[in-house]
Amino acid sequence: MSQKESLNKLLEEQLPVVYSFLSKLGKRIYFPSSGIMAQAKEAKSASSNASIGIALNDDATSLSLSGVSSRIDLHSSKIFPYASSFGLQEFRENWVGQMLKKNPSLSFDNCTIPVVTSGLTHGLFICAQMFFGGETEILMPDLYWGNYKLIFEVNVGAKFVYFPFFVEQKFNLSALKKELFSLDKAVLLLNFPNNPGGYSLLDDEQDNLVELILNYANSGRQLLLICDDAYYGLFYESNVAKESLFARLADLHENIVVVKVDGPTKEEYVWGLRVGSIVVGNKNMSNASAKVIEDKLAGLVRSSVSNVSNLSQNLLVELYRSENYFIEKKQAFELLQSRYLEVKKWLNNNSDHKKYFEALPFNSGYFMCIKLNEGLDCEFVRQELLKKHSVGLISIKQNNLLRVAYSCLRKDEIKKVFEAIYFVCKLHKV
Amino acid sequence: MSQKESLNKLLEEQLPVVYSFLSKLGKRIYFPSSGIMAQAKEAKSASSNASIGIALNDDATSLSLSGVSSRIDLHSSKIFPYASSFGLQEFRENWVGQMLKKNPSLSFDNCTIPVVTSGLTHGLFICAQMFFGGETEILMPDLYWGNYKLIFEVNVGAKFVYFPFFVEQKFNLSALKKELFSLDKAVLLLNFPNNPGGYSLLDDEQDNLVELILNYANSGRQLLLICDDAYYGLFYESNVAKESLFARLADLHENIVVVKVDGPTKEEYVWGLRVGSIVVGNKNMSNASAKVIEDKLAGLVRSSVSNVSNLSQNLLVELYRSENYFIEKKQAFELLQSRYLEVKKWLNNNSDHKKYFEALPFNSGYFMCIKLNEGLDCEFVRQELLKKHSVGLISIKQNNLLRVAYSCLRKDEIKKVFEAIYFVCKLHKV
């Protein structure tokens, strides 16, 4: 039996629900158990190790040029060699620790250990390659990151089915319920805090969603839920659910498979370093079936990027070790929260903005969205703001929205930006 | 007309040969001209820029935590923000400059500007997604990097057709000719210096190959050639062709499309930084058709990893600016060349090794391969070497080879390693 066949056999026997969600590629992929990587791993402690395609100095340190090494205060072994396709072990352990701290109800008993991806996008892409093919329909809210289209629809060939995100300023659970229960088997993609909306579920909304999903599973139907937790942790209100849906659902029911894609990118303010993570959870996951899934995910990493920047992963390990990590992270949170509150304040103090636009509900993350009233076109308003007021926003045509990344604005700028939006809307309202 | 349709229309009209090689995904993919990235680019110089999903300090520098920033001697703008999906402009310009210097006969008049990839693997993967689908047969030598299988066959679903690399210690041009001319339209994948073989074409071999390809094109048939130039530049013999095949073929004939995948990974000894490049060339390429191809490649980057480490790209820009770059690179080359010569010396001085194995021809790169004689199994010998002699090599079962990365061995270690190989082979030869 080939390695691929034995991986699939194990998964089909021990965790048929995950196997049933695999795409054709998800079934094909494996991490070569006897290839270069596996042999190089065995050779790691050989006194003469000529297994791997790098170059060493005579003292067995990595060959390197000082134009690079002199810029970085880390040992060369943390910069130049390749990291494993599974990810740097220390980073993976740190990331598990972070997840456990943030999600007290999570245990790692029935989910995989993080496989490190080249940023959040790569985590979503790996997930898409693993589970979605030309025939997959993905149910998701009508507020979503624009790049989802390119990742899931254009590249992987899946198809989105939308439900309306909000009803009466709340998460539209009944719309989701209607769509979900029309399906015999479902794939659901949720992103909290949401990009572009900046909304996270409130405690009671999350409870209701968990109950809904449990009911679906109890009806004998299988669900694959993708949690895009890119902006995790930036929750500015006390009634926002603080745990990831992943933590609530990973151990809930044998029919529920949950994938968590997250990473330090937004949480640790390291956008340009390109480090993300993907984990998969299911109530019946054993160590053996978890290993099969990790192997398949690492096979997708190996076949798309080989491995993720060793330097970036080591910088993050150093970050978690650094003395000021908690205090600086708290300061950063408070800075962003103060901007959030400033936006809220302007909206409350200037309620006549509702003649021209309304703010969609928001409570977390980097963004908030403005829904323009009829007679105003978001792309036109965006261009006017840019040309006449030197204010840069993002327009989202399908919902006639403007996305404001208040994470980029000084408190004193926020008033100016919203007044400019108000001014342009007032001037051009038909 | 959608953006995708107008890109395809332009390419089909202006450069039908490239269009005809696109995979289904290659036809689908585009870089959104009105999406977040495009709008954020427009907003770049806005005095209040709230367009992009990062966070800024009140002084408009990137928010960052000192546990990361204190380790790197670069301005925060070169570490934390996102790089473009096309790549960092300064790096792309540097890389063009590097290519021109290394390939005097190359001009960039009829090829694309480099799109930056997350390492060489990602360049190969992007190339595979752009051009190969389930139906593609890829012609290539029977000595190839193991990960090709995972990238091209398992992930993208293409199929390899092999020809024997060597005949009588030379590149087997006639075997290639036979396979090539049996095809009405061909995809060819070549890797010089070769991994695992460490062989590059000699000047006369390259001339003959170029002539062969020209004859194929002149017969009215179309060829897509992928040049994997990962180990470019490490040429240890004077009669080795010093220019990439890409430079020889990019401007040669309208029926020849050439893709060059390369990057600093091996050339600048920065394996863990994950920076690569992909360019496409064809005699009839115009600026407009080049732009379409760049857009499609960047769309594949955006949909798989979003963008490549800004830090890594900036470190390389600094490297090219650094005072000692040329002298250190020369020293590194000389170090590797001295090891190459030591391997050659051992083989010459110990010709009775031929009772047990022969060295395949090698003249460049990091590696050389040993072909074991009948009665010796490469995987068994590898394990014996590891267990009994603490020597770590890679076994390649399909050709009964051992790959030796002499780039990792001190000169004085090389003799010891080859004596150990000799000893184990002698002991176990059936």
- Closest among B287, B337, B303, B323 to B85, alpha carbons compared: B303
Give the torsion sign (CA, A226, A228, A233, A238).
Answer: negative
- Closest among B30, B92, B81, B91 to B51, alpha carbons compared: B81
Residue B230's contacts (CB-CB under 8 Å, 6 or more residues apart) are: B120, B191, B195, B261, B262, B263, B265, B266
Which residue in this structure is represented by tokens 């076994």?
Answer: B395
pLDDT value at residue A28: 96
Cβ-contact A300, B155 below 8 angstroms: yes
Residue A370 to residue A394: CA distance in whole angstroms:
10
The answer to whether the CB atoms of A308 and B62 lie below 8 A apart is: no
- Closest among B13, B5, B17 to B282, alpha carbons compared: B17
- Cβ count within 10 A of residue B5: 11
Cβ-contact A101, A244 below 8 angstroms: no
CA B184 to chain centroid, in Å, comes to 26
pLDDT value at residue B129: 98
Interface of B with A in 52-81 (CB under 8 A): 52-58, 62-68, 70-74, 79-81
Which residue in this structure is represented by tokens 């009839």?
Answer: B284
Q: Which residues pair with A395 in a beta bridge?
A: A402
Nearest to B65 among A32, A269, A391 (CB): A269
pLDDT value at residue B35: 83
The answer to whether the CB atoms of B48 and A322 lie below 8 A apart is: no
The answer to whether the CB atoms of A274 and B409 lie below 8 A apart is: no
**Strands annotated E in B182-333:** 185-191, 222-228, 256-262, 276-281
- Cα Dmax for chain B: 78
pLDDT value at residue A15: 97
Q: Kindly state whether B38 is in contact with chain A, defined as any CB-CB distance less than 8 angstroms.
A: no
Q: What is the token pair recorded at B203?
A: 């000047």
- Closest among B363, B348, B364, B337 to B415, alpha carbons compared: B348
Residue A102 to residue A247: CA distance in whole angstroms:
10
pLDDT value at residue A18: 98
**CA gyration radius for chain B?**
23
pLDDT value at residue A424: 97
Q: What is the token pair recorded at A157?
A: 């060939």
Give me the architecture of the A325-428 domain, per CATH. Alpha-Beta Complex (3.90)
- Number of alpha carbons in the 13 Å side-chain half-sphere of residue B243: 18
The answer to whether the CB atoms of A408 and B55 lie below 8 A apart is: yes
ipTM over 0.95: yes
Cβ-contact A346, A399 below 8 angstroms: no
pLDDT value at residue A159: 96
Q: What is the token pair recorded at B366?
A: 């990091």
The answer to whether the CB atoms of B65 and A325 lie below 8 A apart is: yes
Residue A317 to residue A305: CA distance in whole angstroms:
21
Partners of residue B72 in chain A, C-beta under 8 Å: 71-73, 315
- Number of alpha carbons in the 13 Å side-chain half-sphere of residue B133: 12
- Cβ count within 10 A of residue B75: 12
Give me the architecture of the B3-31+85-321 domain, per CATH. 3-Layer(aba) Sandwich (3.40)
- Closest among A72, A32, A132, A94 to A275, alpha carbons compared: A94
Per-domain boundaries in chain A? 3-31+85-321, 325-428
3-state secondary structure of B60: coil
Cβ-contact B356, B366 below 8 angstroms: no
pLDDT value at residue B430: 83
Cβ-contact B314, B78 below 8 angstroms: yes
- Closest among B139, B133, B87 to B113, alpha carbons compared: B87
Q: Kindly state whether A2 is in contact with chain B, defined as any CB-CB distance less than 8 angstroms.
A: no
B132–chain A nearest CA distance, Å: 13
Residue A134 to residue B62: CA distance in whole angstroms:
39
Alpha-carbon dihedral angle through residues A110, A116, A120, A121, given to the nearest 10 degrees:
-110
Q: What is the token pair recorded at B153?
A: 């066959």
Residue B176 to residue B162: CA distance in whole angstroms:
9
Chain A residue whose CA is closest to B416? A48
Cβ-contact A79, B272 below 8 angstroms: yes
The answer to whether the CB atoms of A80 and B272 lie below 8 A apart is: yes
Q: What is the token pair recorded at A62?
A: 């990595």
pLDDT value at residue B352: 95
A218–chain B nearest CA distance, Å: 35
Interface of B with A in 172-211 (CB under 8 A): 195
Cβ-contact A125, A149 below 8 angstroms: no
The answer to whether the CB atoms of A303 and B47 lie below 8 A apart is: no
- The angle that helices A89-102 and A310-321 make with each other, rounded to 10 degrees, is 50
Backbone region of residue A401 per phi and psi (left: phi > 0; alpha: psi in -120 to 50; beta: other values): beta
Peptide bond into B264 cis (omega under 30): no
The answer to whether the CB atoms of B405 and A147 lie below 8 A apart is: no
Residue A71's contacts (CB-CB under 8 Å, 6 or more residues apart) are: B72, B73, B74, B315, B318
Per-residue pLDDT 10s for chain B (430 aa) are 899 999 999 999 999 999 999 999 999 999 998 888 889 999 998 999 999 889 999 999 999 999 999 999 999 999 999 999 999 999 999 999 999 999 999 988 999 999 999 999 999 999 999 999 887 999 999 999 999 999 999 999 999 999 999 999 999 999 999 999 999 999 999 999 999 999 999 999 999 999 999 999 999 999 999 999 999 999 999 999 999 999 999 999 999 999 999 999 999 999 999 999 999 999 999 999 999 999 999 999 999 999 999 999 999 999 999 999 999 999 999 999 999 999 999 999 999 999 999 999 999 999 999 999 999 999 999 999 999 999 999 999 989 999 999 999 999 999 999 999 999 999 998 8
How far apart are the two ends of chain A, measured CA to CA in Å?
A: 69
pLDDT value at residue A33: 86
DSSP 8-state assignment for residue B64: -
The dihedrals phi and psi of A63, each to the nearest 5 degrees, come to: -60, 135
DSSP 8-state assignment for residue B43: G
Concatenated DSSP letters of A305-368: TSS--HHHHHHHHHHHHSTTHHHHHHHHHHHHHHHHHHHHHHHHHTGGGGGTEEEPP--BSS-E
Q: What is the token pair recorded at B17?
A: 């040969």
DSSP 8-state assignment for residue B153: I
Nearest to B51 among A46, A157, A405 (CB): A405
Residue A263 to residue A271: CA distance in whole angstroms:
10
pLDDT value at residue B429: 87
Q: Do domains A3-31+85-321 and A325-428 have the same CATH topology?
A: no
Question: Which of B154, B159, B297, B403 is best to mutate for the A interface (most A CBs within 10 A)?
Answer: B154
Partners of residue A129 in chain B, C-beta under 8 Å: 155
Mean pLDDT per block of 10 residues along chain A (430 residues) reads: 93 97 97 88 92 92 95 97 97 97 92 98 98 92 96 96 97 98 98 97 98 98 98 96 97 98 96 98 97 98 98 98 96 97 98 97 97 96 97 95 96 96 94
Q: Which residues pair with B369 in a beta bridge?
A: B403
Residue B10 to residue A240: CA distance in whole angstroms:
50
The answer to whether the CB atoms of A311 and B410 lie below 8 A apart is: no
Q: Kindly state whether B333 is in contact with chain A, defined as any CB-CB distance less than 8 angstroms.
A: no
Which residue in this structure is represented by tokens 């000047």?
Answer: B203
Apex CA A344: angle with CA A412 and CA A358, to 5°?
Answer: 115
